[in-house]
Structure 1
């Protein structure tokens, strides 16, 4: 069953943060590749994280490839061929987690989505939160093409075009997906500056209008949403989006924890401020694809699942 099929019948539960969970397994993520380096040196930990999310009720597992790109791996000393192999491994490790669970488990069918982070994530300087970079359509596609090809080669036909701060990059990636795999499906999830603006300053309304028009003529896109933002941003953003498209909405915010830059420490959100406290509000706004992003965990996935019962 495809994601489009599932969305026609139910709210679909996504997984949550990968790097945070890898750290709990002792994996070092403070490097240019973040958790993607685990595809080389901590494969068992990656499998374990995927398995934990599936057991918690996730119906879609996203690959550990958000930060995994050929240029990124090559900058870390890998060959281009090795980089492509590691990206493909990102798919197989998630697939392993699905195969490890018996058919008929309480989570039912589980899909695997290839995570396609933005060019700004490769820069590893926070650019995915500002969109402060500029490439041509051809340059964006040249950057993303090897990763898409590697994930396709591993058998994936579902993609998460996520944490996207720029509409022009989304346009380039969707065109690339349609070129390489017209049978594929994808959702697009934007990164926001505020409740009505993409990170690069593009009005959210303009981005949703373009996505809605494109989806009417192309079969690749199945949902649009927002991820990697504070929970309080979502309700007004989703309200705006729902007023401009009939596409299923997706949301997977950050946990709600507060980061203190001066001390480089976190304060955990109270139960009333954690993102899971707002699940029912977002469902009422038309969200059909829901999960968590930074500092979320399998326990949050299980909480979302319980909220749907």
Structure 2
């Protein structure tokens, strides 16, 4: 199944268009009136409001997304244990996140029998900082051991690798130490993965290390088919693509920035000017720079994915 997914992605890219991802889950759920203020963030809806998640997955597919991500970004064994779940129940939460996304894809295909592309499901794996639920994914430098990070990621990666997901998305990785641990763990998985980093500027991860140092960890990696950035300002993406391609030109490049606003973890609010008015123009620049897979992150909802889907000529 997974190799078929890669072939499908390559076919889209070779046709002169990027594969389109969905947009933000948590921020869009908030915009639709959901309370995601618990440490589980959008993952709590897997437990308590699965129908809302399934509807949002469907909204992104209707907008033109060809690959949707699961709501497992902030899910962790430790976080779910704090909500009263044992290890077996936690595993079912991860599997159910994939099942919900797959069900939305099946619903979409049922209603669009002439659709010539089977939508893909990417199982989301968030950073250790997401579990801390204090904005640490925008800082890195967790101050924990390699063993702790390995323990945190290993079992949920195994569960998602054994699920019905087409791809694994290790995303919003702000920390070189964490990237190194993920590089080793992904050597033992069978599902193709992308790894996307979170950066403080166009050159550095949030922990201060060079973006290129993180990319080098995955050069020649047998399981990682794409590298990229997410939850960054849209106007920084072209420079980031150039940095990634300069280190490894063999892998696909995935980019899904946020609206360009800044998140304050203390107040849990966004501030600053949005760059979404130039969204499609910026996306075409990313494609010209070498992006193969394009979508959105926080505060990028279905209308902006629809805007990408309506682009007829991607090359500037």
TM norm. shorter chain > 0.5? yes
State the TM-score, normalized to the length of structure 2: 0.88
Q: 1:158 — aligned with what? A: 167
* 1:220-254 residue CA offsets vs partner (Å, 9 max, x unmatched): 11110000011122122222222222121110000
TM-align CA RMSD:
2.3
Query: Deviation of residue 208 (structure 1)?
Result: 2.0
Q: What is the aligned partner in structure 1 of residue 58 from structure 2? A: 51
Which segment drifts farther, 80-89 or 61-70? 80-89
Partners of 2:267 and 2:90 lie apart in 1 by: 35
Indicate conservation of the 8 Å contact 1:227/1:293, yes or no.
yes
Give the counterpart of 2:295 among 291, 302, 306.
291
| Deviation for aligned residue 1:210 | 2.8
Please state whether the residue corresponding to 1:67 is helix, strand or coil: coil
State the match for 1:20 in structure 2. 27
Q: Does 1:119 align with 2:123?
A: no
**Any residues of structure 2 matched to 1:90-169 within 5 Å, and which?**
90-101=97-108, 102=110, 104-106=113-115, 108-169=117-178
Distance 1:75 1:308, change over 3 A: farther
2:210 matched to 1:209?
A: no
- Paired residues in the alignment total 302
Output aligned runs, 1:1-309, within 5 Å: 2-9=4-11, 10=13, 11-101=18-108, 102=110, 104-106=113-115, 108-179=117-188, 181=189, 183-212=190-219, 214-215=220-221, 218=222, 220-246=223-249, 247-257=251-261, 264=269, 269=274, 272-273=277-278, 275-308=279-312
Q: 1:281 to 1:143 in 2, by over 3 A?
A: same
Deviations 1:254-304 (CA, angstroms, capped at 9, x unpaired):
02346688894656636544x333011111110001000001111111111
Q: TM-score, normalised by structure 1?
A: 0.89
